[in-house]
Amino acid sequence: MEKKLNQDKIPAHIAIIMDGNGRWAKKQGLLRVAGHEKGTKSVREAVEYCAEVGVKNLTLFAFSTENWNRPKFEVKTLMKLLVSSLKKELPTLQKNNIRLNSVGNLDTLPEKARLELEEVIDKTTTNTHMTLTLALSYGSREEIKCMVQSISKKVKDGEIQPEEITDQLINQHLYTFDMPDVDLLIRTSGEQRISNFLLWQIAYAELYFCDVLWPDFRKKHLFDAIYNYQKRERRFGKTSEQL
Ligand code: IPE
Ligand code: IPE
Ligand code: MG
């Protein structure tokens, strides 16, 4: 029997740690950056597939706060690749009614990358089919630190009382303030760690680790991840009988 996705159980928010570009390139005897270039095809496929099956939010970990510590040449190439991909993909985003969004400390991006990003975000702002969020210069601890700082300031200024700090208020002060919690977190390349990605937002996400290196990640792998997710029982602390 052909396996099919259950349309009633499509995750509302998928987040992907796109890992393994460097190892993919090394395996082919190429420079690491060739893996990043190849990885852009997998990005396009993941975006297309999520839009096709009705995922409303897709968040991609593209560059972490820790990734600034990589060799200069690699960082520079990644930033260039970001600019060229944004330019190239704008028509596809428009055609598929996809809104671009970003999370992270965007002030640290090179000006060219930041401006290009802002332009595409601006041009796609009224699109409604899906939100594609790029995590760029993103670190979850930094995000949490900023949230604590801005809430503390409001408490100090008497705008809010400490008792008024709720989950909802915390959410409102994160970069992801307008997004639902992550339902399914995927990491490619066989590594089984979170690497400072969306720590608050994945509190009850289903985790899916697969061995495929990101440049080899095709639509069928994403299908497998969603299919696997749909077979799981999400209990949120309750018992099976209560669901
Ligand atoms: C993921 O692939 C892309 C980024 C972190 C920007 P890597 O570059 O981490 O590839 P590996 O993990 O070294 O193979
Ligand atoms: C996580 O991958 C960051 C991105 C995918 C952008 P890394 O390759 O940087 O993670 P670690 O350092 O191996 O945990
Ligand atoms: Mg890696």
Residues 44-100: tens digit of each pLDDT: 999 999 999 999 999 999 999 999 999 999 999 999 999 999 999 999 999 999 999
Residue nearest to atom 12 of ligand 2 (CA): 195
Ligand 1 closest atom vs CA 20? 14
The pLDDT of residue 18: 98
Predicted confidence (pLDDT) per residue in 21-49, tens digit: 999 999 999 999 999 999 999 999 999 99
Q: Are 13 and 56 in contact (CB under 8 A)?
A: yes
CA distance linking residue 113 with residue 106, whole number of Å: 9
Is 157 a catalytic site residue?
no
Residues with CB under 5 A from ligand 3 (ion): 19
pTM, 2 dp = 0.98
| Angstrom distance (rounded) from CA 95 to CA 51 | 11
Give the three-class secondary structure for 229. Answer: helix
Q: Which atom of ligand 2 is nearest to the CA of 189?
A: 8
Q: What is the DSSP letter of 66?
A: G
Q: Are 221 and 18 in contact (CB under 8 A)?
A: no
Name the β-bridge partners of 131.
Answer: 57, 99
Q: Using the mean position of ligand 2's atoms as its centre, give its distance from the Cα of residue 165 in Å.
A: 32
Q: Does the annotation count 69 as an active-site position?
A: no
In a 10 Å sphere around its CB, with 0-12 CB exposed, 13-18 middle and 19+ buried, how is residue 91 labelled? exposed
Ligand 2 pocket: which residues have CB below 6 Å? 17-19, 61-64, 66-67, 191, 193, 195
Amino acid type, 1: M
DSSP reduced 3-state for 31: coil
pLDDT at 214 over 70: yes
Hey, is 167 helix, strand or coil? helix
For 177, the 3-state DSSP assignment is coil
Q: What per-residue confidence (pLDDT) applies to 2?
A: 79
Task: Determine what percent of the chain is predicted with pLDDT higher than 90.
Answer: 99
Instruction: Look over the chain and give the mean of its residue pLDDT values, rounded to a whole number.
Output: 97
- pLDDT band at residue 219 using 50, 70 and 90 as cut-offs: very high
List, in order of start, the domains of the chain with CATH numbers: 10-231 (3.40.1180.10)
| Tens digits of residue pLDDT in 106-123 | 999 999 999 999 999 999
What pLDDT does residue 1 have?
Answer: 63
Q: Which atom of ligand 2 is nearest to the CA of 67?
A: 9
**Shortest-distance ligand to the CA of residue 217:** 1
Residue type, 135: A
